[in-house]
């Protein structure tokens, strides 16, 4: 597979400069190109300002910002892109301009350089016809603001090679993006339903149904979003909405551009939005709600019928790319088949269009764990990046089913477990715990945990070789899942922690037991009692991670082109030996009461650890310490679940994630 090291970005406008910044932040060498040097300088200035703001807000350090900038250079000559491994075009949405650019790039870059288009609407296949070797052309549609928004739509054209697609997928991961797959059709997935949603709001306005502020008010309420369609169009540009909708008119009458949208775009002015409304007539609200939901339901049903995208990726596109609280599939499930059928039929009648056949529960299945098989290898991917792959009831059930399928397959010898997006698994579904505590249903938490333990035990006891590949955040239940594997491999940016005692509970899926098996009692107590977040390097030093590997090595292992590494036992570094000794040579009470004996560790270092433990929930610390000391197996964690989830500290901690709290020990 081609390695991507140097990336060219053509177009130094808002999107192009944001892409260049993001790629540079992720460690790629980036060349930002445009037709005039003043455009390039403007783009670089924008990047500088964004990075300065990031330093000011402590998103990253000045040293990091300087490092990102060192990966960037600008040019007004396309010839400077000749040595790039991948070039992404991000110029304005003009088909002929993009074709001309592709033709020029084909004469400059190497024959195996991947050429990606960031088009939001044009055919990738049609653009690819403008360049020699169209098999290396692919659509990578990024979303605003590209340095912050994690979504990318991956769109292969008809001639895109499997090698190009595979490399583009890996590049998206390395670029810190969450990808959804789309077929090569106008609007792809997200814009296909989002832009008609914007357009429909304008139709409601021109029909005199409601004011702009009333439509925004209802949409914010119904879709659980922070900005309504008119405010959104003002933020991203009214002409963009107009031109995007214009390309979709091929799909029928529903997609015809509203005259008022055309006029507003041509005026070059944003919408003038009235004062925000506080309440609205219920009859008017119903009309707006039905029409706006109806359009989304209709178009998304078309997307599913045409197999433009899966239900899982359709939902993900809205939640990550548009930051909708609920994706379209969630909304259809919540509404129910009867209502969805009614609203879709209403839209079909209004615009004289055929009702899609893909309405109903069987078309709305969202997969949270993905199973792939490659000869003797099975790959289980925790696949809900929009939820940080949190362990919900549904996810654990799917993990159970998919693991059983892989484990019972006689042709499978190795099972890899990994995650998509920025997390391996970022813990359990906190909302589930809070809901059941408030409802007085602690027994439901016990049932869920017991089932989770059963699933994890099966993974732990499998006769297959189980390898955890930790791609990102591995927290709480995620670390407990990784500890079930025979080997833990980590990408360089992976992070590990047991944050439970900081939110009022203790690890309940075997964390207090399997961590001891992996790194011993002392270091297990350190991790669980302090909640300390460890880098991949630190985790490797203490033996929690067996080896740090690259994303390329992961692909080669999965494809059978590289063996799983053999890891030799290493001595524990001195700094970690001191930490281990502190917890193994002193009881928890002695540590908390500052009566500990640890001659080898500097006093201020020990005091810092003790102070950190002092911020955690006392009952959770006490029970976790007891479980680690007794070492009676994972089942022992079930014994104290009722006690810990009945504490006021647990409810306080679970409802105050990210906030400083004062625990009372009860």
pLDDT tens across 33-51, in order? 999 999 999 999 999 999 9
Fold of the domain spanning 6-181: Rossmann fold (3.40.50)
Q: Band of the pLDDT at 391, cuts 50, 70, 90? A: very high
pLDDT at 121: 82
Q: Is the pLDDT of residue 598 over 80?
A: no
Q: Is the pLDDT of residue 4 over 90?
A: yes
CATH fold match for the domains 190-363 and 369-654: no
Q: Which of 135, 200, 500, 540 is catalytic?
A: 500
Q: How far is CA 382 from CA 282, 409, 432, 553, in A?
A: 42, 20, 18, 19
pLDDT at 602: 86
Q: Is the pLDDT of residue 408 over 90?
A: yes
CATH architecture of the region 190-363: Orthogonal Bundle (1.10)
pLDDT at 164: 97
Q: What is the pLDDT of residues 116-154, one digit of tens each?
A: 999 988 999 999 999 999 999 999 999 988 999 999 999
Tell me which H or E stretch contains 32.
strand 29-33
Structure-block tokens of residue 252: 């029928």
Query: What's 369-654's CATH class?
Result: alpha beta
Nearest Cα residue to 385 out of 362, 364, 365, 367: 367
Other Cβ atoms less than 10 A from the Cβ of 96: the count is: 8
pLDDT at 596: 87
User: Rounded CA gap, 402 and 469, in Å?
Assistant: 17
Other Cβ atoms less than 10 A from the Cβ of 150: the count is: 20
User: Rounded CA gap, 623 and 646, in Å?
Assistant: 13
Other Cβ atoms less than 10 A from the Cβ of 350: the count is: 15
Q: In what order do the strands lie in the sheet with 547-548?
A: 369-374, 377-382, 414-419, 465-470, 487-490, 547-548
Alpha carbon 433 to its chain's center: 22
For residue 130, what are the contacts with CB-CB under 8 A and spacing of at least 6?
98, 99, 100, 102, 103, 106
Q: Is the pLDDT of residue 658 over 90?
A: no
Q: Is the pLDDT of residue 599 over 90?
A: no
Q: State mean pLDDT over 625-652.
A: 97
User: Rounded CA gap, 595 and 591, in Å?
Assistant: 6
Give pTM, 2 decimals. 0.93
Of 26-30, 105-109, 382-386, 568-572, where does mean pLDDT reach its minimum? Answer: 568-572
Nearest Cα residue to 303 out of 196, 385, 224, 389: 196
User: Rounded CA gap, 157 and 174, in Å?
Assistant: 22
For residue 286, what are the contacts with CB-CB under 8 A and spacing of at least 6?
none
Q: Confirm whether 26 is a catalytic residue.
A: no
The single residue listed with the structure tokens 């269009």 is: 353
The single residue listed with the structure tokens 């939820």 is: 387
- Contact by Cβ (8 Å): 196, 254: yes
pLDDT at 261: 98
Q: Confirm whether 500 is a catalytic residue.
A: yes
Q: Is the pLDDT of residue 309 over 90?
A: yes
User: Rounded CA gap, 148 and 144, in Å?
Assistant: 8
Q: Band of the pLDDT at 603, cuts 50, 70, 90? A: confident
- Contact by Cβ (8 Å): 499, 449: no
Q: Is the pLDDT of residue 306 over 90?
A: yes
Q: What share of the chain is helix, strand, coil (3-state, %, to 5)?
A: 55, 10, 35
pLDDT at 420: 96
pLDDT at 20: 98
pLDDT at 396: 98
Q: Band of the pLDDT at 597, cuts 50, 70, 90? A: confident
Other Cβ atoms less than 10 A from the Cβ of 103: the count is: 12
User: Rounded CA gap, 168 and 118, in Å?
Assistant: 13
Q: Band of the pLDDT at 594, cuts 50, 70, 90? A: confident
Q: Is the pLDDT of residue 333 over 90?
A: yes
Q: Is the pLDDT of residue 290 over 90?
A: yes
User: Rounded CA gap, 529 and 582, in Å?
Assistant: 13
Q: Is the pLDDT of residue 65 over 90?
A: yes
Q: State mean pLDDT over 447-468.
A: 98
List of E strands, 429-530: 465-470, 473-475, 487-490, 495-497
- Contact by Cβ (8 Å): 116, 168: yes
Q: What is the pLDDT of residues 236-262, one digit of tens each?
A: 899 999 999 999 999 999 999 999 999
pLDDT at 355: 98
The residue extents of the domains of the chain are: 6-181, 190-363, 369-654
**329 or 596, greater pLDDT:** 329
Q: Which of 480, 540, 552, 631 is catalytic?
A: 480
pLDDT at 2: 84
Q: State mean pLDDT over 384-403.
A: 97
User: Rounded CA gap, 93 and 116, in Å?
Assistant: 14
Nearest Cα residue to 159 out of 185, 176, 135: 135
């Amino acid at each position: 597979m081609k390695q991507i090291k140097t990336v060219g970005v053509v177009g130094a406008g808002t999107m192009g400069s944001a892409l260049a910044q993001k790629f540079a932040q992720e460690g790629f060498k980036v060349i930002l190109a445009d037709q005039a040097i003043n455009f390039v300088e403007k783009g670089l200035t924008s990047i500088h300002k964004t990075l300065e703001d990031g330093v000011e807000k402590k998103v990253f350090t000045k040293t990091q910002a300087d490092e990102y900038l060192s990966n960037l250079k600008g040019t007004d000559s396309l010839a400077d892109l000749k040595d790039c491994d991948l070039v992404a075009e991000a110029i304005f949405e003009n088909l002929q301009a993009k074709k001309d650019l592709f033709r020029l790039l084909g004469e400059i870059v190497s024959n195996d350089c991947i050429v990606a288009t960031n088009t939001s609407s044009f055919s990738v296949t049609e653009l690819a016809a403008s360049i020699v070797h169209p098999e290396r052309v692919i659509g990578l549609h990024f979303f605003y603001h590209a340095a912050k928004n994690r979504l990318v739509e991956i769109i292969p054209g008809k001639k895109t090679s499997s090698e190009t697609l595979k490399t583009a997928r890996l590049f998206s991961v390395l670029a810190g993006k969450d990808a959804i797959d789309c077929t090569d059709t106008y609007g792809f997935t997200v814009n296909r339903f989002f832009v008609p949603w914007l357009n429909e709001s304008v139709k409601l306005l021109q029909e005199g149904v409601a004011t702009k502020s009333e439509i925004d008010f209802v949409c914010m309420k119904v879709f659980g979003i922070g900005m309504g369609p008119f405010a959104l169009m003002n933020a991203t540009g009214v002409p963009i909405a107009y031109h995007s909708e214009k390309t979709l008119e091929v799909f029928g009458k529903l997609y015809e551009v509203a005259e008022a949208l055309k006029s507003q775009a041509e005026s070059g002015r944003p919408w003038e939005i009235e004062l925000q409304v506080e309440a609205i007539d219920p009859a008017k609200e119903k009309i707006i709600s039905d029409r706006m939901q109806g359009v989304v339901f209709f178009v998304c049903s078309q997307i599913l019928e045409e197999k433009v995208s899966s239900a899982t990726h359709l939902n993900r596109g809205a939640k990550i790319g548009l930051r909708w609280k609920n994706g379209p599939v969630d909304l259809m499930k919540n509404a129910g088949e009867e209502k969805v059928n009614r609203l879709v039929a209403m839209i079909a009648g209004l615009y004289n269009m055929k009702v899609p056949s893909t309405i109903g529960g069987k078309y709305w299945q969202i997969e949270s764990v993905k199973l792939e098989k490659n000869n003797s290898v099975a790959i289980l991917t925790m696949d809900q990046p929009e939820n940080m792959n949190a362990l919900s009831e549904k996810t654990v059930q799917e993990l159970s089913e998919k693991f059983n399928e892989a484990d019972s397959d006689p042709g499978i010898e190795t099972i890899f477990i990994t995650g998509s997006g920025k997390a391996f698994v970022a813990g359990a579904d906190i909302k589930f715990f809070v809901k059941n505590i408030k409802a007085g249903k602690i027994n439901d938490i016990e049932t869920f945990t017991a089932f989770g333990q059963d699933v994890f035990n099966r993974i732990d006891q499998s006769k297959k070789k189980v390898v955890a590949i930790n791609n990102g955040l591995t927290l709480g239940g995620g670390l407990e899942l990784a500890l079930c594997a025979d080997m833990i491999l980590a990408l360089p940016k992976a992070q590990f922690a047991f944050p439970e005692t900081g939110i009022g509970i203790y690890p309940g899926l075997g964390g207090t037991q399997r961590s001891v098996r992996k790194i011993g009692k002392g270091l297990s107590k350190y991790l669980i009692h302090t909640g300390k977040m460890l880098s991949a390097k630190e985790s490797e030093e203490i033996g929690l991670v067996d080896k740090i590997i690259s994303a390329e090595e992961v692909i080669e292992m999965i494809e059978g082109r590289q063996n799983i590494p053999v890891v030799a036992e290493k001595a524990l570094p001195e700094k970690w030996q001191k930490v281990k000794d502190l917890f193994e040579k002193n009881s928890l009470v002695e540590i908390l009461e500052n009566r500990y004996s640890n001659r080898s560790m500097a006093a201020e270092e020990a005091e810092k650890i003790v102070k950190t433990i002092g911020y955690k929930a006392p009952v959770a610390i006490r029970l976790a310490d007891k479980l680690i000391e007794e070492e009676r197996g994972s089942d022992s964690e079930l014994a104290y679940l009722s006690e810990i989830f009945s504490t006021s500290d647990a409810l306080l901690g679970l409802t105050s994630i990210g906030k400083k709290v004062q625990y009372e020990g009860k």
